[in-house]
Every structure is written in C-alpha cells, then in structure tokens.
Structure 1
C-alpha cells in the first residue's frame, strides 16, 4: 500500500505541473488521470479511482478515434472498479465495450483479447451464468496455451478460473483437477509466501471440504491462512476469506460456536472495507445466520438471513444461485419452527431458480425436491410429497 501512495504523490506533482501548461483535453492529462486512478484503485479507494478514470475517459472520448486502444483501456479500468464494488452488470457492460474495441485491431491470439475474455467470464460467473462463464474462460485458456510457456502465471490463472466454475456447478473432482494444475505452476514459479499460492491452497481446501474430507481441507486452509497473516494487511479481503472458510469447516464439523467466531471476524473486515450492498457482505450475514440456525437460535438466524436476502435482491439477477440459497435458508428456519406453509413458499422460490440455473443432477436440486416433499408430508399431503 505504501508504494501506491508514493506513486500517487509523484503522479499528483506531475499532474499539477502539466495542468498549468497543457490544454484541458490534452492526451497527456488523460494519461495522468488514468495513472492516478490506477493508484487509488490499487489502494481500494474506489470512488476516487472512478473519478479519475472518468476524467481520463472523457478526454479520450473527445480526442481519440473510436477504436483506439487507450479508450479500451479506460473502459476496462472503469469495469474493474464496478467489478470490485460488486456491481457486476455495470462491470460487464464496460468489459464488453473493451472487447468490442480490442477485437477489431488485434490478432486472434493477442494477450489483451485473452484478458477481455477472462474479465467477461469472471462477470458471468458472479452473475450465476456458469455455462457462459466457462465458454469465455475456455477461450482464454486456448489463447494462453498457444502463446505462453507451460508454467506461465496467466496459464495458472486460467486453470484456476475454470476450476472455480466446475466448483460452482458441483463438479468437484473436475474442479480439484484444475486447482491442482494451478498449484503445480504456482509452486514452481512463485515465492513460498506469495498470495496466489495462498489462493491455490484455499481453493483446494474448499474442494476437500465439499468432498467431506475435513482434515485435508483444514490442512490446506491453514496453509493459506498462514501465508495471508504474514503478507497481508489486517483488513485485507483475502484474510476475510480465510476466516470465512475456516468458519465454514467448523460449521460442517458441527462446531458451531467456533464457526460463529470465525464468521464474525470475516464480517468485521468486510464491514470496514466493502460498500454496504456488496455481495460478500451478504455472504457474511448469511453464514452468521447459518451458525445461529445450527445453534437453534432461530430469531437471530432469520434476522441475518433476511439481511443477506435484502442485499442479494438489490444487487443480483433474479435467478442467481445465491438468491436461491437465501430463500432456502429462510425456508429452513420456518420449517424448523413448524411454519410449514411459509417454509414451502420459500422452498418453491428456491426450486424455481435452481431448475433454471443448475444441471439436472446437481445436489442442490435434489435438496430442493426433498425439502418440498418434506413440507407436503408434514402438512399431511402425502400424494404430493411422493410426487
């Protein structure tokens, strides 16, 4: 962070000199605005970054041809800010503008094209459109396999992103295979305490957790956590991610008070660093709700679940899997307190989304059918339960 603030100081001094000698719409000024935006972006001061990126964009729109690479760069940077604050549909729009420009002058296998495909894939993944995400990630991988050395970090990044999508759709063995390819490259090319190595250990831990191999999961999570504690600031998002994942593991093992403690650490970081309606905040509220739910503190559970749902309804597409997850969790509380009709209503909302977005054999779909069947049985409607 200190290096970025130093860079910012020099950029501002240079800008002050240039503003006195150059016309308002001079391209050199746009470059300075862009660089100042980059520094603020790296320091996670998103509103300031956005302000300077927009100044750069306005000058470039007035002075450059429509398909100039610097215009693409501006669109890409603004997309990156929207991405980081969780406004994924806006980010997608800017990333698509970037791609439109880059596709016209660049060769088919150019790294900047791969970068654009990757960013668009990332947005579709966040918006729950997994088949589209996978399609873009595979385009990226194809370019990188043709143009990069076997152990290049960008190849590792591609394997990782494809693994994430397979993880999202419940194909855990495929996801693990891609995560292991990622780790192999990173272990050969990165220092022992590099943040990307921590990310790989974290993702492999997540897979073992999903496959029910909790001791292996904890071992990988702890490797990730150890690196992050040594290398990251106290309130870094990746540290929050580590607390969250270790909390999830304790949750799975039935150690709910420990889980709650880690989830609260996660929430504390996210509340200090993220906008009020950021999806990661919703995830934290949801997880704290889960811990209270498992501890049978139902009123607290529903309060946190509803806070998560409120954010998700404001920020996510109507059929996003995380919305289904929220409906399912609230339904689960009403189920547990014997309000079966209300529970059924939430379970049906869950099923409606999952039928539209998940593969036919996904475990979450089976879970939804089971929950609805149980509600009909509890209400004495046995034929409907069997159907």
Structure 2
C-alpha cells in the first residue's frame, strides 16, 4: 500500500508538471503574438512619421508659395500690367498654401492620434511582455520547486532508510546491552564479553557509516554507548580475574567517555554515571595490579597503580557527593549508594596500601553516613572488625563484631530500641531462615577473635576467659547455623504430621545464648519453642512442660520472680494430671526453689513445696530427685542461718542415700549405671555431715558418719566403675585417711 501511495503521488506530480508545461507554452505563444503586433505597430508608426515629414515639407512649400505670392502682389502693385495675373496666381498659390497647411494640420493631428494609439499599444504590449516574462519566470520557478521537492523527497527517503537502519541497529544494540547485564549478573563472563564485542563492533560501524544521517545528539549518544560497552567488557574481564585485559577495556572506555565529558570542563549534573562506574572499575583493576606488582616488581611501581586508583575512587566519590543534595528523593538514594561504595573502595585500597589510619577513617565514614542502609552498615562493621583483627587489635575487633552481631540480630528480630522477648513464630522462621547463617558466621568470626586474643595475651586468667568466650561463641554459631538450616528446609517443604525438631533446636539455641550471657535472646527462642510445641503434634504438645521449665529457670536467674513463678505454675498445671510423676515432682521442686530465692515469698512456702516434691520422689524410688531436694533444703537452711534445721536435712540426706546404697551393695538396685554417681553423692553427703558435726564438737556423731564410709571399703574396692572414677576415689581415700588417723577409730 505504501508503494501504491508513492506511485499515486508521483503520477500527480507528473500531471502538475505537464499542466505547467502547457501553460508555459501558451504564455510563450501569446508573448510571440504580442511581439509581432508590436513590430507591426512600429512599422505603422514609421509610415506615419514619414507622412508627417512629407506633410511638413508640403507645408514648407506652401509657406514659400505664400511668400512668393506676397512678393508678386507687391510686384503687381508696382506693375499694373501683371497685377491681375499675379493676383490670380497669388490667390491660387494662397489657396494651395491654405490647402497644404490644412492638409499638414490634418496629417499632424492624425500623426498625434496615431502616436497616442501607438503609445497605448506599446504600453499594452509592455504589459503583455511583462506578463509573459512573469509567467515564464513562474513556470521556471515552479519547475525548479518541483525539482527541489523531488530532490527533497529523495533525500527524505534516504533519511527514512537511514533512520530505519539506525532504529534497527538501536534495537539490536539494546538486546546486546541487556544480554551483557544479564550475563554479568549470572557471572557468565564469556557471554558478557561476547555480547560486549558485538555491541562495540555495531557502534563503531554505525558511527563510521557515511550513509547514516546522524545528528550531533545521536553521535554523542552512540559514543557514550561505545564507552559503556568497553566498560562492561572490562567488568567481564575483571570477573574472570583477567586484570590486564580488564585494564585495557576500562582505559578504552575512559578515553572515549572523557572526550564527551572533558575533566577540565565537566559538570557533575551533566555527566552520566557510566563515566564514574568506569573510574571505579579501572580503579579496582589498578588496585589489583598494585598488589600484583608488590609481589613481583615490574617496570611500573605499586605506588603508581595505587595512586591512580586513589584518584579514580576519589573522583567517583566526589561526583556522588556533589549530586547528593541536588537530586530528588528517588535519585538521592542512588547517589547515597554511590557515596557508600566510594568510601568502601577507598577503605579497601588504603588497607591494601598499608595506610591503616586512612582505611579506618573510611570504614568509620560508612558507619557514620546518615543514609547508610542496614546491609551496608553490617558490611562496614564486618570489614572493620576484620581490619582490627588483622592488625592484632583484638579488643577493637571484638567490639566491632559485637556491634555487627547486635545489628544483625536486631534486623532479624525487628527490634527497635529495646530487646524483644517474644516474636511471632512465623517472623522468627522467615527472618532467621534468611539471615541466621550470616549471624552464625559473625559469631564464628567473633570466636576467632577471642581465640586470637587468648593466644596473644600473657595473662593466664585473661587467656582462660577469652578461651571460654571463644568456645561459647563457637557453640552459639553451630547452634544458630543448624537452626537456620532447619528453618530453610521447613519453609521449602512442608513437614510430616509427626513431631518436629524445630522446638529442640530452638531450645539448644536458647541454651547457647545463655552460655554466651545473652539471656534476652534465650527467652526469644525458648518462647518460640513453646509456640511450636503448643501448636504442634500430640508428641510436640507433650513437651510443653519442658518449655515452661526453661523459661521459669531463665526468669529465676534474671530475678524476674513474677514471670518465673508464672512459668513454674504453668509447668505444675501442665503435669497436674499425674501428680505422682517425676515431672510433676520436678515442677513442684522448681517452684520451691523460686520461693527460696524470692525475698518476698513467705518463708515456709519453699520448705512446704520441697517437702511435697520429696514425698513424690520417695514414692517413686527416685534417688536423684530425693538427693536434690534434700541438698537444696540444706542450702536453704544455711542461707537462712538455721543450723538445726540444716543438720536435720543433712542427716535426712545421708539416711535417704544409704537406703539406695544398701540396695546397690545387695544387688537389688534397679539402675546399676547410676552406681558410681550414687556412691559419689553418698560419700559427699557423709563428708558434709561428718564435717558439720565435727565443727559442732559432736565428735561421736562425726565418727558415726565417717564409719559409714569405712563400712563401704569392701564394696567400693571391688567395684570397677568406682575404681575408675578418679575424683570420687580421691575423695574416699581422703575420708578414710582422716578416719584412720583418729585414734578412736575402730576397724
């Protein structure tokens, strides 16, 4: 259809040209007729002029005749004889003169009339000639215009073809640009270089092609794209660690782009970011070359490369700083990221250059930057901590790692100014599945810093402290890593209908936080474990009491007695269905311990609860339970300075354990694996009782207590497990030594 329209327009233009040609020919014929008429008029005018001359000559003759007549008349007067004849001749001559004069007057009048007509005709002829000339000029002008329009049409067609080819080239180059970016993102550097090469070739051909009609803005745009292509080719080379080729590509990009924006006349608001992205890429290449030449000296010194890199990084940083306050809110964030990157680049460069103070200042500049994002702040703190660690500044490294971890945990838990003690289970799962591994890595690096500190110090106590903290940090990193892995698996695939282990992993993580002295974090994960158990399977729900126990113990250690009491009471209520179970007895015992610690609790309440738990343990033949309750009672009475009640509890403890030892010695003890532990606790109970009686000057009572230990010698000397228990064996030997050194002791 486009070609048909084109043919129709050409036919119309040809018809117009043909019509104009005919009009021009008619005008030329008319002009020719006018020229012929003018020639005829000129000939007629010449005849009239000739007649007029003849008439004037006749008039002259008539005048002469008239004069001759007058002379004759005078002669006639003088001569009468000739008077009549002469008179007649004079009259005749006068008549002829008058006739000639009249004829001349008529001819003159006719000539004047013909001259007026000739002038009129001449004017009309001039007008006609002018019209013919004007028509001819118009025809020639219109023909020239038609030819110019035809040329313009041809030129427009050429421009259209060029524009089409340019548009097609732009589309192709746009696809190549997209391929470059996607390939770099996927780290497919071979494909990125291939696409960059294709883009560079296309741009060079377009700029050199004489058939392309390019405006000044087109040339600048394509030139900038050429610099962009070289810069991203450099990124692809740098991604493959091919620094020399990366340097070549970046330098080509820099040369091209600096021709567009010369440094001496550069306005940051008019420059495009690609120029400074090129500076950053080239600066990184120079930085690597500086490190390489440090190891293997070459012609160019490391200082030269480092200095060039510093200049490029500084120019890029200043560019983003200059635009930071001049852009709108949307672009301000982009420039802020550029400022952050600039500080990071300089910090890492100065670190490699060994300029530690400058490196530290740049890392701290990131920390103090008002628009720094959480991830950037975390990265700055991590690199600053590593920087301190590498400088053997372990105190500063530990502080930096702690700040990093605090920030990471706040982000994961979404805390504000205060610690959160609980969070929805879904939030814990999503956030720690995503960031738990990073936090675990930070704790692992913190453990390394503690170990380095322990190795570096000559203070044994300090070394032991740092070593213990290193172990706690490392244990926490392991627990957190396992928890994060489990959450990622849980979120990626639904669990079976059976029990989950997420609660147990959360408890382990809470225990690790407690060991690292982060009780506020432990609460969070103990609470998460409780939520999982309450909403889990039947097997999970049977573990709810375990969560109450952990939460109660934690709050009790924090001296938050109200929360501890609530959790212990919840634990008691949870096991209420079986009041003769070890779990119920333990929940009552825990409540008793709380009342013993809480200064606001009634004094008798702790003893009452301990006695209640003791009765349950005794009914269950649970010797460890009885032992714990009686031991705590002795400590409670000691704390309250009730020596008589304490002594009674000590005696109860020895008596209770003796019954179980007798079962062990008789071979009726149910759990033989507990034998060494039972013997150890029994001996300790005897030793404390004997010592207490001796301190109270009850020598007989003390001897009776130690006699119990003496009576055990035959059994313990033949019990292999006891013999291997070095600590208990040492205690026993010491007790026997004291007993035998007493002269009143009997075998």
Return the structure number with greater relative CO, CA threshold 8 A, min gap 6: 1
TM-score by length of 2: 0.26
TM-score by length of 1: 0.48
